[in-house]
Structure 1
Amino acid sequence: MTDLRSLLGVACAALDQASALVTDMAVGAVQAKGDRDMVSEIDFAVEDRVRTFLQKETPEIGFLGEESGGVGAGGALTWALDPVDGTANLVNGIPLCGVSLGLIADNRSVLGVIDLPFLGQRYRAAEGHGAYCGDDRIRPRVTTALNEAIVAIGDYAVGERAQERNARRLALTACLAESVLRVRMFGSAAVDLVWVASGKVDCSIALSNHPWDMAAGVAIAREAGAVVMDVDGSPHDVMSAATIAATPALRRPLMEMLATL
Protein backbone atom coordinates (compact mmCIF):
# COMPACT_ATOMS: atom_id res chain seq x y z
CA MET A 1 0.00 0.00 0.00
CA THR A 2 1.29 3.46 -0.92
CA ASP A 3 2.21 5.53 2.14
CA LEU A 4 0.76 8.88 1.01
CA ARG A 5 1.53 10.63 4.30
CA SER A 6 5.23 9.83 3.90
CA LEU A 7 5.21 10.85 0.23
CA LEU A 8 3.51 14.12 1.16
CA GLY A 9 6.51 14.87 3.36
CA VAL A 10 8.84 14.16 0.43
CA ALA A 11 6.81 16.46 -1.82
CA CYS A 12 6.89 19.25 0.75
CA ALA A 13 10.66 18.91 1.09
CA ALA A 14 11.00 19.13 -2.69
CA LEU A 15 8.93 22.30 -2.79
CA ASP A 16 10.96 23.85 0.01
CA GLN A 17 13.88 23.79 -2.41
CA ALA A 18 11.79 24.88 -5.37
CA SER A 19 10.24 27.85 -3.61
CA ALA A 20 13.65 29.09 -2.49
CA LEU A 21 14.84 29.04 -6.09
CA VAL A 22 11.81 30.96 -7.34
CA THR A 23 12.21 33.74 -4.80
CA ASP A 24 16.02 33.93 -4.80
CA MET A 25 16.84 33.64 -8.52
CA ALA A 26 16.58 36.33 -11.12
CA VAL A 27 14.15 35.41 -13.89
CA GLY A 28 17.08 35.38 -16.31
CA ALA A 29 16.70 34.63 -20.00
CA VAL A 30 13.21 33.96 -21.29
CA GLN A 31 12.84 31.70 -24.32
CA ALA A 32 9.92 31.33 -26.68
CA LYS A 33 8.24 27.91 -26.63
CA GLY A 34 5.92 28.75 -29.48
CA ASP A 35 3.29 31.31 -30.31
CA ARG A 36 2.90 33.54 -27.20
CA ASP A 37 4.33 30.86 -24.92
CA MET A 38 7.53 31.09 -22.92
CA VAL A 39 9.89 29.42 -20.48
CA SER A 40 12.32 31.10 -18.08
CA GLU A 41 15.62 30.09 -16.52
CA ILE A 42 13.72 29.64 -13.26
CA ASP A 43 11.45 27.02 -14.86
CA PHE A 44 14.47 24.96 -15.93
CA ALA A 45 16.29 25.38 -12.60
CA VAL A 46 13.28 24.36 -10.51
CA GLU A 47 12.48 21.35 -12.65
CA ASP A 48 16.07 20.13 -12.58
CA ARG A 49 16.31 20.55 -8.80
CA VAL A 50 13.00 18.85 -8.03
CA ARG A 51 13.56 15.99 -10.50
CA THR A 52 17.01 15.27 -9.04
CA PHE A 53 15.66 15.34 -5.48
CA LEU A 54 12.71 13.07 -6.23
CA GLN A 55 14.77 10.56 -8.19
CA LYS A 56 17.05 10.26 -5.17
CA GLU A 57 14.27 10.08 -2.57
CA THR A 58 11.74 8.01 -4.54
CA PRO A 59 13.57 6.22 -7.37
CA GLU A 60 10.69 3.77 -7.76
CA ILE A 61 8.27 6.56 -8.79
CA GLY A 62 8.19 7.98 -12.30
CA PHE A 63 8.53 11.67 -13.05
CA LEU A 64 6.80 13.93 -15.56
CA GLY A 65 7.85 17.56 -15.87
CA GLU A 66 6.45 20.25 -18.13
CA GLU A 67 9.86 21.23 -19.50
CA SER A 68 11.85 17.97 -19.55
CA GLY A 69 9.15 15.38 -20.15
CA GLY A 70 8.99 12.00 -18.49
CA VAL A 71 11.39 9.64 -16.77
CA GLY A 72 9.69 6.35 -15.98
CA ALA A 73 6.31 8.09 -16.24
CA GLY A 74 3.16 6.11 -16.92
CA GLY A 75 3.70 3.45 -14.27
CA ALA A 76 1.58 2.86 -11.19
CA LEU A 77 2.90 6.06 -9.59
CA THR A 78 4.15 9.23 -11.29
CA TRP A 79 5.16 12.61 -9.94
CA ALA A 80 3.84 15.47 -12.13
CA LEU A 81 5.57 18.86 -11.85
CA ASP A 82 4.90 22.30 -13.20
CA PRO A 83 8.04 24.15 -12.09
CA VAL A 84 6.38 27.54 -12.51
CA ASP A 85 2.66 27.54 -13.11
CA GLY A 86 2.02 31.04 -14.42
CA THR A 87 5.34 31.80 -16.11
CA ALA A 88 3.87 34.76 -18.00
CA ASN A 89 2.82 36.21 -14.65
CA LEU A 90 6.25 35.58 -13.12
CA VAL A 91 8.27 37.22 -15.89
CA ASN A 92 6.01 40.27 -15.79
CA GLY A 93 6.20 40.72 -12.03
CA ILE A 94 2.68 39.46 -11.28
CA PRO A 95 2.79 37.40 -8.05
CA LEU A 96 0.08 34.91 -9.06
CA CYS A 97 2.32 31.95 -9.87
CA GLY A 98 3.40 28.82 -8.09
CA VAL A 99 5.23 25.52 -8.05
CA SER A 100 2.84 22.58 -8.48
CA LEU A 101 3.81 18.99 -7.63
CA GLY A 102 1.25 16.20 -7.77
CA LEU A 103 1.29 12.43 -7.52
CA ILE A 104 -0.73 10.35 -9.98
CA ALA A 105 -1.73 6.80 -9.10
CA ASP A 106 -3.32 4.74 -11.85
CA ASN A 107 -4.37 7.86 -13.80
CA ARG A 108 -5.87 9.63 -10.78
CA SER A 109 -4.44 12.49 -8.71
CA VAL A 110 -3.97 11.37 -5.10
CA LEU A 111 -1.54 13.91 -3.61
CA GLY A 112 -0.60 17.50 -4.23
CA VAL A 113 1.56 20.29 -2.92
CA ILE A 114 1.35 23.80 -4.35
CA ASP A 115 3.57 26.63 -3.17
CA LEU A 116 2.67 30.23 -4.02
CA PRO A 117 6.00 31.76 -3.01
CA PHE A 118 5.17 35.43 -3.56
CA LEU A 119 1.98 35.10 -1.52
CA GLY A 120 3.60 33.07 1.25
CA GLN A 121 1.08 30.25 0.90
CA ARG A 122 1.66 26.48 0.87
CA TYR A 123 -1.26 24.18 0.06
CA ARG A 124 -1.05 20.43 0.51
CA ALA A 125 -3.25 17.35 0.53
CA ALA A 126 -3.09 13.59 0.34
CA GLU A 127 -6.08 11.37 -0.26
CA GLY A 128 -7.68 10.47 3.07
CA HIS A 129 -5.56 12.94 5.07
CA GLY A 130 -7.30 16.29 4.56
CA ALA A 131 -6.33 19.45 2.70
CA TYR A 132 -4.44 22.31 4.31
CA CYS A 133 -3.03 25.77 3.76
CA GLY A 134 -0.19 26.00 6.23
CA ASP A 135 -1.59 24.49 9.42
CA ASP A 136 -5.20 25.35 8.65
CA ARG A 137 -7.69 22.83 7.27
CA ILE A 138 -9.34 24.18 4.12
CA ARG A 139 -12.78 23.65 2.63
CA PRO A 140 -14.73 25.10 -0.29
CA ARG A 141 -17.49 27.64 0.15
CA VAL A 142 -21.15 26.63 0.35
CA THR A 143 -22.44 28.84 -2.47
CA THR A 144 -25.58 27.32 -3.97
CA ALA A 145 -26.46 29.57 -6.93
CA LEU A 146 -24.47 30.59 -9.99
CA ASN A 147 -25.53 34.21 -9.65
CA GLU A 148 -23.70 34.27 -6.30
CA ALA A 149 -20.57 32.52 -7.60
CA ILE A 150 -17.13 33.84 -8.44
CA VAL A 151 -15.77 31.65 -11.25
CA ALA A 152 -12.13 31.45 -12.35
CA ILE A 153 -11.47 30.43 -15.95
CA GLY A 154 -8.30 29.14 -17.59
CA ASP A 155 -6.22 31.12 -20.04
CA TYR A 156 -7.30 31.39 -23.64
CA ALA A 157 -5.43 29.10 -26.01
CA VAL A 158 -2.31 30.15 -27.88
CA GLY A 159 -0.33 28.35 -30.54
CA GLU A 160 -1.64 25.78 -32.99
CA ARG A 161 -5.40 25.93 -33.66
CA ALA A 162 -5.77 28.74 -31.11
CA GLN A 163 -8.65 30.37 -32.95
CA GLU A 164 -10.56 27.10 -33.18
CA ARG A 165 -9.88 26.16 -29.57
CA ASN A 166 -10.81 29.61 -28.32
CA ALA A 167 -14.25 29.54 -29.92
CA ARG A 168 -15.50 27.34 -27.08
CA ARG A 169 -13.60 29.32 -24.46
CA LEU A 170 -15.14 32.56 -25.66
CA ALA A 171 -18.58 30.96 -25.68
CA LEU A 172 -17.96 29.84 -22.09
CA THR A 173 -16.91 33.35 -21.08
CA ALA A 174 -20.02 34.85 -22.64
CA CYS A 175 -22.25 32.30 -20.92
CA LEU A 176 -20.62 32.91 -17.54
CA ALA A 177 -20.89 36.68 -17.97
CA GLU A 178 -24.66 36.27 -18.21
CA SER A 179 -24.93 33.85 -15.28
CA VAL A 180 -22.40 34.32 -12.47
CA LEU A 181 -21.53 37.03 -9.98
CA ARG A 182 -18.02 37.59 -11.37
CA VAL A 183 -15.59 35.95 -13.82
CA ARG A 184 -11.86 35.96 -13.03
CA MET A 185 -8.77 34.89 -14.99
CA PHE A 186 -5.75 34.57 -12.70
CA GLY A 187 -3.36 33.00 -15.22
CA SER A 188 -2.46 29.95 -13.11
CA ALA A 189 -4.33 26.67 -12.84
CA ALA A 190 -2.61 26.06 -9.50
CA VAL A 191 -4.01 29.30 -8.09
CA ASP A 192 -7.47 28.58 -9.51
CA LEU A 193 -7.70 25.12 -7.95
CA VAL A 194 -6.34 25.90 -4.50
CA TRP A 195 -8.55 28.96 -4.27
CA VAL A 196 -11.58 26.78 -4.96
CA ALA A 197 -10.31 24.36 -2.30
CA SER A 198 -9.90 27.15 0.26
CA GLY A 199 -13.11 29.03 -0.51
CA LYS A 200 -11.71 32.12 -2.19
CA VAL A 201 -13.59 31.37 -5.40
CA ASP A 202 -16.54 29.07 -5.98
CA CYS A 203 -15.52 27.33 -9.19
CA SER A 204 -12.68 27.02 -11.67
CA ILE A 205 -13.15 25.92 -15.27
CA ALA A 206 -10.25 25.02 -17.54
CA LEU A 207 -10.99 23.48 -20.92
CA SER A 208 -7.66 21.64 -20.76
CA ASN A 209 -5.97 18.98 -18.66
CA HIS A 210 -2.18 18.72 -18.74
CA PRO A 211 -1.03 16.50 -15.85
CA TRP A 212 1.71 18.91 -14.74
CA ASP A 213 -0.82 21.76 -14.58
CA MET A 214 -3.63 19.92 -12.83
CA ALA A 215 -2.43 16.92 -10.79
CA ALA A 216 -1.58 18.75 -7.59
CA GLY A 217 -4.49 21.17 -7.61
CA VAL A 218 -7.02 18.46 -8.42
CA ALA A 219 -5.85 16.37 -5.46
CA ILE A 220 -6.03 19.37 -3.12
CA ALA A 221 -9.45 20.53 -4.31
CA ARG A 222 -10.95 17.04 -4.16
CA GLU A 223 -9.57 16.33 -0.70
CA ALA A 224 -10.85 19.70 0.55
CA GLY A 225 -14.36 18.68 -0.48
CA ALA A 226 -14.81 20.23 -3.91
CA VAL A 227 -16.30 18.24 -6.75
CA VAL A 228 -13.70 17.83 -9.51
CA MET A 229 -14.96 16.63 -12.88
CA ASP A 230 -14.66 16.57 -16.64
CA VAL A 231 -16.88 18.72 -18.83
CA ASP A 232 -19.49 15.94 -19.00
CA GLY A 233 -19.68 15.63 -15.22
CA SER A 234 -17.67 12.41 -14.95
CA PRO A 235 -15.00 12.19 -12.22
CA HIS A 236 -11.75 13.87 -13.23
CA ASP A 237 -8.67 11.83 -14.15
CA VAL A 238 -5.62 12.37 -16.34
CA MET A 239 -7.59 11.43 -19.47
CA SER A 240 -10.29 14.07 -18.91
CA ALA A 241 -10.74 16.74 -21.59
CA ALA A 242 -11.35 19.53 -19.08
CA THR A 243 -10.75 20.32 -15.42
CA ILE A 244 -13.68 21.72 -13.48
CA ALA A 245 -13.61 22.16 -9.71
CA ALA A 246 -16.51 23.61 -7.76
CA THR A 247 -18.32 23.71 -4.48
CA PRO A 248 -20.63 20.65 -4.61
CA ALA A 249 -23.92 22.58 -4.68
CA LEU A 250 -22.92 24.18 -8.00
CA ARG A 251 -22.43 20.88 -9.82
CA ARG A 252 -25.92 20.64 -11.30
CA PRO A 253 -26.28 24.28 -12.48
CA LEU A 254 -22.78 24.14 -13.94
CA MET A 255 -23.57 20.98 -15.87
CA GLU A 256 -26.77 22.54 -17.20
CA MET A 257 -24.89 25.63 -18.31
CA LEU A 258 -22.00 23.71 -19.90
CA ALA A 259 -24.43 21.53 -21.84
CA THR A 260 -25.50 24.62 -23.80
CA LEU A 261 -22.02 25.34 -25.17
Structure 2
Amino acid sequence: MSDEIDTRALLAIAEAAVDEAETTFSAAVGAEPSVMKSPGDFATEADLSVERQLRHLLTSYTGLPVHGEEYGVVRPGEPVEINPNDDKADDLDGPRRDRSDSGPRTTDADALDRADADKNPGLDELPETCWVVDPIDGTANYAVGNPFCCILVSLVHKGEAVVAVTEMPLLGQRITARKGHGLYVDGHPARPMLPSDPGVTQISFGSILSQRRGNLPISYRQDMLNAIGRTYPRMRVTGSCGIDLAFTAAGIFGGTVTFSPNLWDNAAGMLLVREAGGVVTDFNGDPWRPGVSGLVAGEPEVHSILLDHIRSVPIGTAARNAQEIMDRGGIR
Protein backbone atom coordinates (compact mmCIF):
# COMPACT_ATOMS: atom_id res chain seq x y z
CA MET A 1 0.00 0.00 0.00
CA SER A 2 1.34 3.46 -0.88
CA ASP A 3 2.15 6.20 1.61
CA GLU A 4 -1.12 7.89 0.62
CA ILE A 5 -4.14 5.96 1.81
CA ASP A 6 -7.78 6.98 1.64
CA THR A 7 -8.43 7.61 5.32
CA ARG A 8 -11.86 9.07 4.59
CA ALA A 9 -13.06 5.85 2.99
CA LEU A 10 -11.36 3.70 5.61
CA LEU A 11 -12.95 5.65 8.45
CA ALA A 12 -16.35 5.13 6.83
CA ILE A 13 -15.63 1.39 6.62
CA ALA A 14 -14.56 1.28 10.27
CA GLU A 15 -17.74 3.05 11.32
CA ALA A 16 -19.89 0.70 9.24
CA ALA A 17 -18.22 -2.32 10.86
CA VAL A 18 -18.74 -0.83 14.32
CA ASP A 19 -22.41 -0.13 13.50
CA GLU A 20 -22.96 -3.85 12.92
CA ALA A 21 -20.86 -5.03 15.86
CA GLU A 22 -22.63 -2.63 18.24
CA THR A 23 -25.76 -4.79 18.08
CA THR A 24 -23.82 -7.82 19.29
CA PHE A 25 -22.13 -5.71 21.97
CA SER A 26 -25.39 -4.28 23.34
CA ALA A 27 -27.26 -7.59 23.31
CA ALA A 28 -24.91 -9.28 25.77
CA VAL A 29 -24.28 -6.56 28.38
CA GLY A 30 -23.85 -8.20 31.76
CA ALA A 31 -22.28 -11.36 30.30
CA GLU A 32 -20.35 -13.38 32.86
CA PRO A 33 -16.59 -14.01 32.53
CA SER A 34 -15.99 -17.09 30.41
CA VAL A 35 -12.29 -16.95 29.54
CA MET A 36 -9.64 -16.33 32.20
CA LYS A 37 -6.57 -14.85 30.53
CA SER A 38 -4.30 -13.93 33.44
CA PRO A 39 -4.72 -12.93 37.11
CA GLY A 40 -7.29 -10.13 37.23
CA ASP A 41 -7.98 -10.27 33.48
CA PHE A 42 -10.84 -12.06 31.75
CA ALA A 43 -12.98 -12.04 28.63
CA THR A 44 -16.66 -12.77 28.07
CA GLU A 45 -18.13 -14.63 25.13
CA ALA A 46 -19.20 -11.19 23.87
CA ASP A 47 -15.53 -10.12 23.62
CA LEU A 48 -14.87 -13.08 21.36
CA SER A 49 -18.05 -12.64 19.30
CA VAL A 50 -17.58 -8.92 18.74
CA GLU A 51 -13.94 -9.37 17.73
CA ARG A 52 -14.78 -12.18 15.30
CA GLN A 53 -17.49 -10.02 13.77
CA LEU A 54 -15.23 -6.98 13.43
CA ARG A 55 -12.46 -9.11 11.92
CA HIS A 56 -14.81 -10.58 9.32
CA LEU A 57 -16.25 -7.20 8.36
CA LEU A 58 -12.97 -5.29 8.24
CA THR A 59 -11.10 -7.89 6.23
CA SER A 60 -14.09 -8.39 3.89
CA TYR A 61 -14.39 -4.66 3.22
CA THR A 62 -10.66 -3.86 2.91
CA GLY A 63 -8.59 -7.04 2.58
CA LEU A 64 -6.34 -5.79 5.39
CA PRO A 65 -5.17 -7.93 8.35
CA VAL A 66 -6.51 -7.38 11.85
CA HIS A 67 -4.60 -7.34 15.15
CA GLY A 68 -6.91 -7.71 18.14
CA GLU A 69 -6.87 -8.41 21.84
CA GLU A 70 -8.36 -11.89 21.73
CA TYR A 71 -6.86 -13.44 18.58
CA GLY A 72 -3.63 -11.59 17.78
CA VAL A 73 -2.73 -10.89 14.15
CA VAL A 74 -4.92 -12.66 11.60
CA ARG A 75 -4.48 -12.05 7.88
CA PRO A 76 -7.23 -12.38 5.27
CA GLY A 77 -7.99 -16.02 4.57
CA GLU A 78 -6.50 -17.29 7.83
CA PRO A 79 -8.79 -18.98 10.38
CA VAL A 80 -9.87 -16.85 13.33
CA GLU A 81 -9.10 -18.98 16.36
CA ILE A 82 -7.35 -18.76 19.70
CA ASN A 83 -3.92 -20.09 18.81
CA PRO A 84 -1.38 -20.94 21.54
CA ASN A 85 1.42 -21.01 18.95
CA ASP A 86 0.81 -17.49 17.61
CA ASP A 87 4.19 -16.03 18.57
CA LYS A 88 3.52 -12.72 16.85
CA ALA A 89 0.32 -12.22 18.83
CA ASP A 90 2.11 -13.11 22.08
CA ASP A 91 4.94 -10.67 21.44
CA LEU A 92 2.63 -7.84 20.44
CA ASP A 93 0.12 -8.48 23.18
CA GLY A 94 2.55 -8.45 26.12
CA PRO A 95 2.64 -11.36 28.61
CA ARG A 96 2.39 -14.74 26.88
CA ARG A 97 -0.82 -16.67 27.52
CA ASP A 98 -1.71 -20.33 27.13
CA ARG A 99 -4.80 -20.50 24.92
CA SER A 100 -7.31 -23.24 24.30
CA ASP A 101 -10.21 -23.51 21.89
CA SER A 102 -12.36 -25.24 24.49
CA GLY A 103 -12.94 -24.11 28.04
CA PRO A 104 -11.33 -21.24 29.94
CA ARG A 105 -7.85 -20.02 29.18
CA THR A 106 -5.26 -20.80 31.78
CA THR A 107 -2.03 -18.99 32.46
CA ASP A 108 1.30 -20.77 32.85
CA ALA A 109 3.60 -18.85 35.20
CA ASP A 110 6.77 -20.09 33.53
CA ALA A 111 5.51 -19.00 30.12
CA LEU A 112 4.66 -15.57 31.51
CA ASP A 113 8.11 -15.23 33.01
CA ARG A 114 9.72 -16.15 29.70
CA ALA A 115 7.61 -13.58 27.89
CA ASP A 116 8.55 -10.88 30.40
CA ALA A 117 12.18 -11.49 29.51
CA ASP A 118 11.58 -11.34 25.73
CA LYS A 119 12.32 -8.16 23.79
CA ASN A 120 9.06 -6.59 22.66
CA PRO A 121 9.40 -6.18 18.89
CA GLY A 122 7.20 -3.11 18.81
CA LEU A 123 5.29 -1.52 15.95
CA ASP A 124 7.83 -2.52 13.31
CA GLU A 125 6.65 -6.14 13.63
CA LEU A 126 3.07 -5.31 12.64
CA PRO A 127 1.98 -5.62 9.01
CA GLU A 128 2.62 -2.31 7.26
CA THR A 129 -1.08 -1.50 7.34
CA CYS A 130 -3.54 -3.26 9.65
CA TRP A 131 -6.61 -2.78 11.74
CA VAL A 132 -6.21 -2.82 15.53
CA VAL A 133 -9.28 -3.89 17.49
CA ASP A 134 -10.34 -4.05 21.11
CA PRO A 135 -13.84 -5.56 20.95
CA ILE A 136 -14.78 -4.54 24.50
CA ASP A 137 -12.54 -2.16 26.36
CA GLY A 138 -13.59 -2.12 30.00
CA THR A 139 -14.72 -5.76 30.08
CA ALA A 140 -15.03 -5.74 33.89
CA ASN A 141 -17.48 -2.84 33.58
CA TYR A 142 -19.34 -4.53 30.74
CA ALA A 143 -19.76 -7.73 32.74
CA VAL A 144 -21.73 -5.92 35.47
CA GLY A 145 -23.61 -3.47 33.24
CA ASN A 146 -21.46 -0.44 34.02
CA PRO A 147 -21.79 1.80 30.92
CA PHE A 148 -18.10 2.79 30.88
CA CYS A 149 -17.08 0.30 28.21
CA CYS A 150 -16.47 0.72 24.51
CA ILE A 151 -15.44 -0.70 21.13
CA LEU A 152 -12.05 0.48 19.84
CA VAL A 153 -11.05 0.28 16.18
CA SER A 154 -8.03 1.96 14.63
CA LEU A 155 -6.05 1.64 11.42
CA VAL A 156 -2.28 1.60 11.93
CA HIS A 157 -0.17 2.45 8.89
CA LYS A 158 3.63 2.24 9.10
CA GLY A 159 3.51 2.26 12.89
CA GLU A 160 1.09 5.16 13.30
CA ALA A 161 -2.67 5.28 13.83
CA VAL A 162 -4.31 7.15 10.95
CA VAL A 163 -7.98 6.27 11.59
CA ALA A 164 -9.74 5.84 14.94
CA VAL A 165 -13.22 5.01 16.21
CA THR A 166 -14.20 4.89 19.87
CA GLU A 167 -17.78 3.70 20.15
CA MET A 168 -19.54 3.86 23.53
CA PRO A 169 -22.85 2.06 22.94
CA LEU A 170 -24.14 2.32 26.50
CA LEU A 171 -23.35 6.03 26.67
CA GLY A 172 -24.73 6.74 23.19
CA GLN A 173 -21.57 8.45 21.99
CA ARG A 174 -19.03 7.94 19.21
CA ILE A 175 -15.73 9.81 18.86
CA THR A 176 -13.72 9.52 15.64
CA ALA A 177 -10.69 10.95 13.89
CA ARG A 178 -8.47 10.52 10.88
CA LYS A 179 -4.96 11.87 10.79
CA GLY A 180 -4.78 15.53 9.84
CA HIS A 181 -8.54 16.12 9.81
CA GLY A 182 -9.45 16.88 13.40
CA LEU A 183 -11.68 15.27 16.01
CA TYR A 184 -15.37 14.48 15.59
CA VAL A 185 -17.92 13.77 18.32
CA ASP A 186 -21.09 12.08 17.06
CA GLY A 187 -20.26 13.23 13.55
CA HIS A 188 -19.71 16.89 14.42
CA PRO A 189 -16.37 18.74 14.68
CA ALA A 190 -15.24 18.88 18.30
CA ARG A 191 -14.49 22.10 20.08
CA PRO A 192 -10.80 22.93 20.61
CA MET A 193 -9.20 21.87 23.87
CA LEU A 194 -9.64 24.60 26.46
CA PRO A 195 -6.99 25.85 28.90
CA SER A 196 -7.26 24.04 32.21
CA ASP A 197 -8.60 25.32 35.49
CA PRO A 198 -7.25 23.03 38.25
CA GLY A 199 -10.28 23.73 40.40
CA VAL A 200 -12.68 22.12 37.92
CA THR A 201 -10.47 20.05 35.59
CA GLN A 202 -10.97 16.32 35.91
CA ILE A 203 -8.07 13.89 35.41
CA SER A 204 -8.76 10.23 34.69
CA PHE A 205 -6.44 7.67 36.21
CA GLY A 206 -5.81 4.05 35.31
CA SER A 207 -6.23 0.99 37.48
CA ILE A 208 -4.80 1.45 40.97
CA LEU A 209 -5.09 -2.12 42.20
CA SER A 210 -4.74 -4.20 39.03
CA GLN A 211 -3.60 -7.78 39.59
CA ARG A 212 -2.30 -8.16 36.03
CA ARG A 213 1.36 -8.91 35.49
CA GLY A 214 3.74 -6.45 33.94
CA ASN A 215 2.18 -3.27 35.29
CA LEU A 216 3.71 -0.60 37.46
CA PRO A 217 3.85 -1.35 41.21
CA ILE A 218 0.64 -0.57 43.09
CA SER A 219 2.49 1.58 45.62
CA TYR A 220 4.00 3.66 42.81
CA ARG A 221 0.59 4.23 41.23
CA GLN A 222 -0.90 5.26 44.57
CA ASP A 223 1.94 7.71 45.21
CA MET A 224 1.44 9.08 41.70
CA LEU A 225 -2.29 9.48 42.29
CA ASN A 226 -1.60 11.42 45.49
CA ALA A 227 0.98 13.66 43.78
CA ILE A 228 -1.30 14.54 40.86
CA GLY A 229 -4.23 15.06 43.22
CA ARG A 230 -2.42 17.94 44.92
CA THR A 231 -2.84 19.98 41.73
CA TYR A 232 -5.93 18.30 40.28
CA PRO A 233 -8.13 17.09 43.17
CA ARG A 234 -10.93 15.95 40.86
CA MET A 235 -9.48 12.56 39.91
CA ARG A 236 -11.62 9.91 38.23
CA VAL A 237 -11.17 6.15 37.66
CA THR A 238 -13.44 4.85 34.87
CA GLY A 239 -12.00 1.38 34.28
CA SER A 240 -11.61 1.94 30.53
CA CYS A 241 -8.42 3.22 28.86
CA GLY A 242 -10.36 3.84 25.66
CA ILE A 243 -12.93 6.05 27.34
CA ASP A 244 -10.26 7.88 29.33
CA LEU A 245 -8.43 8.84 26.14
CA ALA A 246 -11.61 9.62 24.19
CA PHE A 247 -12.99 11.83 26.97
CA THR A 248 -9.64 13.59 27.17
CA ALA A 249 -9.77 14.27 23.45
CA ALA A 250 -13.33 15.57 23.77
CA GLY A 251 -12.41 17.89 26.65
CA ILE A 252 -14.43 16.07 29.29
CA PHE A 253 -11.17 15.20 31.05
CA GLY A 254 -8.27 17.61 31.00
CA GLY A 255 -5.84 14.70 30.92
CA THR A 256 -5.37 11.04 31.65
CA VAL A 257 -2.76 8.70 33.08
CA THR A 258 -3.08 5.07 31.97
CA PHE A 259 -1.02 1.93 32.54
CA SER A 260 -1.91 -0.47 29.73
CA PRO A 261 1.05 -1.66 27.63
CA ASN A 262 -1.26 -2.86 24.86
CA LEU A 263 -1.61 -1.33 21.41
CA TRP A 264 -5.31 -2.16 21.13
CA ASP A 265 -6.06 -0.18 24.33
CA ASN A 266 -4.18 2.94 23.27
CA ALA A 267 -3.91 3.28 19.48
CA ALA A 268 -7.36 4.77 18.81
CA GLY A 269 -7.31 7.16 21.76
CA MET A 270 -3.83 8.44 21.02
CA LEU A 271 -4.95 9.61 17.58
CA LEU A 272 -8.12 11.17 19.02
CA VAL A 273 -6.12 13.20 21.55
CA ARG A 274 -3.59 14.39 18.98
CA GLU A 275 -6.27 15.41 16.50
CA ALA A 276 -7.90 17.46 19.28
CA GLY A 277 -4.64 19.33 19.81
CA GLY A 278 -3.44 17.37 22.82
CA VAL A 279 -0.14 15.69 23.65
CA VAL A 280 0.49 11.96 24.22
CA THR A 281 3.75 10.46 25.56
CA ASP A 282 5.09 7.81 27.87
CA PHE A 283 6.07 8.74 31.42
CA ASN A 284 9.49 9.88 30.23
CA GLY A 285 8.03 12.33 27.72
CA ASP A 286 8.96 10.10 24.76
CA PRO A 287 6.61 8.62 22.14
CA TRP A 288 4.60 5.77 23.65
CA ARG A 289 5.18 2.31 22.16
CA PRO A 290 3.64 -1.11 22.74
CA GLY A 291 5.02 -2.91 25.78
CA VAL A 292 5.43 0.22 27.93
CA SER A 293 3.07 0.45 30.91
CA GLY A 294 2.79 4.19 31.23
CA LEU A 295 0.96 6.71 29.05
CA VAL A 296 0.06 10.31 29.82
CA ALA A 297 -2.16 12.43 27.58
CA GLY A 298 -3.96 15.73 27.74
CA GLU A 299 -4.27 19.37 26.89
CA PRO A 300 -0.67 20.61 26.45
CA GLU A 301 -0.44 22.48 29.76
CA VAL A 302 -2.10 19.65 31.66
CA HIS A 303 0.17 17.10 30.02
CA SER A 304 3.23 19.07 31.11
CA ILE A 305 2.02 19.35 34.71
CA LEU A 306 1.12 15.65 34.83
CA LEU A 307 4.60 14.73 33.59
CA ASP A 308 6.19 16.90 36.27
CA HIS A 309 4.20 15.14 38.97
CA ILE A 310 4.98 11.69 37.55
CA ARG A 311 8.70 12.44 37.44
CA SER A 312 8.62 13.61 41.06
CA VAL A 313 7.44 10.22 42.35
CA PRO A 314 10.11 7.59 43.17
CA ILE A 315 9.49 4.31 41.36
CA GLY A 316 9.64 2.46 44.69
CA THR A 317 11.36 -0.69 45.88
CA ALA A 318 9.18 -3.09 43.87
CA ALA A 319 11.18 -2.43 40.70
CA ARG A 320 14.40 -4.33 40.07
CA ASN A 321 16.03 -1.61 37.97
CA ALA A 322 14.43 1.76 38.48
CA GLN A 323 16.65 3.69 36.05
CA GLU A 324 16.04 1.25 33.22
CA ILE A 325 12.30 1.43 33.84
CA MET A 326 12.25 5.21 33.79
CA ASP A 327 14.47 5.33 30.71
CA ARG A 328 11.89 3.20 28.93
CA GLY A 329 8.98 5.29 30.16
CA GLY A 330 7.37 2.52 32.20
CA ILE A 331 7.42 -1.21 32.83
CA ARG A 332 6.93 -3.80 30.15
Aligned-pair Cα RMSD in Å: 2.0
Query: Which whole-Å deviations, capped at 9, do the CAs of 1:83-113 have from their partners, x for residues lacking one?
Result: 0001100111111100000111222222110
> Does structure 1 retain, via aligned residues, the 8 Å contact 2:256–2:297?
yes
Equivalences for 1:62-73 in 2 at 5 Å? 62-72=65-75
Larger radius of gyration: 2
Shift of 1:186: 0.3
Q: Percent identity?
A: 30
Instruction: Give the distance between the partners of 1:209 and 1:122, measured in 2 at CA.
Output: 24
TM-score (norm 1): 0.91
> Does structure 1 retain, via aligned residues, the 8 Å contact 2:296–2:303?
no
- Are positions 1:149 and 2:201 aligned together? yes
Query: Structure 1: any 5+ residue segments left out of the alignment?
Result: none
Which residue of structure 2 aligns with residue 243 of structure 1?
Answer: 295
Which residue of structure 1 aligns with residue 283 of structure 2?
Answer: 231
Question: Could you tell me which amino acid in structure 2 is paired with residue 34 of structure 1?
Answer: S
Which residue of structure 2 aligns with residue 209 of structure 1?
Answer: 261
Equivalences for 1:1-261 in 2 at 5 Å? 1-25=4-28, 27-31=30-34, 32-59=36-63, 61-72=64-75, 74-139=126-191, 141-144=193-196, 146=198, 148-156=200-208, 157-160=210-213, 165-238=217-290, 240-261=292-313
Query: Structure 2: any 5+ residue segments left out of the alignment?
Result: 76-124, 314-332
3-state SS of 2:50 partner: helix
Number of equivalences: 259
Instruction: Give the distance between the partners of 1:122 and 1:236, measured in 2 at CA.
Output: 24
Query: Which whole-Å deviations, capped at 9, do the CAs of 1:22-52 have from their partners, x for residues lacking one?
Result: 1123544522222222211110110000001
Instruction: Give the distance between the partners of 2:289 and 2:214, measured in 1 at CA.
Output: 24
Instruction: Give the distance between the partners of 1:192 and 1:236, measured in 2 at CA.
Output: 16
3-state SS of 1:235 partner: coil
> Does structure 1 retain, via aligned residues, the 8 Å contact 2:132–2:155?
yes
Q: Which has the higher contact order (CA 8 A, sep 6+)?
A: 1
Structure having the higher strand fraction is 1
